[in-house]
Structure 1
């Protein structure tokens, strides 16, 4: 049996999740990436969404990220994002409301950096909340 991957998910202000996993699935700007033990080194930009972690005991954790980076090297996976939150902490209803609010602000002409950031976070939260269910 292959050695588990050591994973750390880090936001701007905290380590959100850390531990061993059998696999990681993440959405990059180039498409989805699946990572197993022995994966070649990679550094990629993350797209907003839910990063899926399959634990050795069969459980699945989902972490919402609003972008950032994923790095894979020598059995270690680092997910670094300004915003990261466990999917189980997010409700679909609240994420849908946040996304609708951000979309409405953008459509009304309030298309600044903060509004785009709120939109990306809401997208990530909604994706993670749906995957975590």
Structure 2
């Protein structure tokens, strides 16, 4: 079975790497599903979106919130380079809810913070 070699990194650390069956990322142009054999592409991640990775070994889906960044696909290798990223099992849900409330109170000036707080909650499995 063909697989993808995937790396999800932020400036702080590598959040996940390994073999995957599929990656789904949201770009500024729409959602993109990546399977083995995908044509080369370079994309801009939608700030405050969720990336999903289906590991090839059958482990649970890896879900992560990403801030702005880029991803590239070439030769069955996917690199996801996010300015800010957090995997679902590391998200502090009460802190994410508080961040969302603060962002909503800030009005238009909190739009980016609101998108990121909502993405953190979606990555944790909570619709916000």
1:100-126 CA distance string (max 9 Å, x none) = 21121135xxx2xxx454333213212
Where do 1:61-100 residues align within 5 Å?
61-100=62-101
Q: The residue matched to 1:130 in structure 2 has which SS?
A: coil
Return the alpha-carbon distance in structure 2 between the equivalents of residues 31 and 65 of structure 1. 15
Aligned residues: 124
Where do 1:25-104 residues align within 5 Å?
25-47=24-46, 48-58=48-58, 59-104=60-105
1:58-99 CA distance string (max 9 Å, x none) = 321111101211110111101111111111111444323211
Where do 1:105-124 residues align within 5 Å?
105-106=106-107, 111=109, 115-124=110-119
Q: Flag as ranges the 4+ runs of structure 1 deviating above 4 A.
A: none
Q: The residue matched to 1:43 in structure 2 has which SS?
A: strand
Q: TM-score, normalised by structure 2?
A: 0.86
Q: The residue matched to 1:19 in structure 2 has which SS?
A: strand
Q: TM-score, normalised by structure 1?
A: 0.83
RMSD across aligned positions (CA) = 1.8
Structure 1: runs of 5+ lacking an equivalent: none
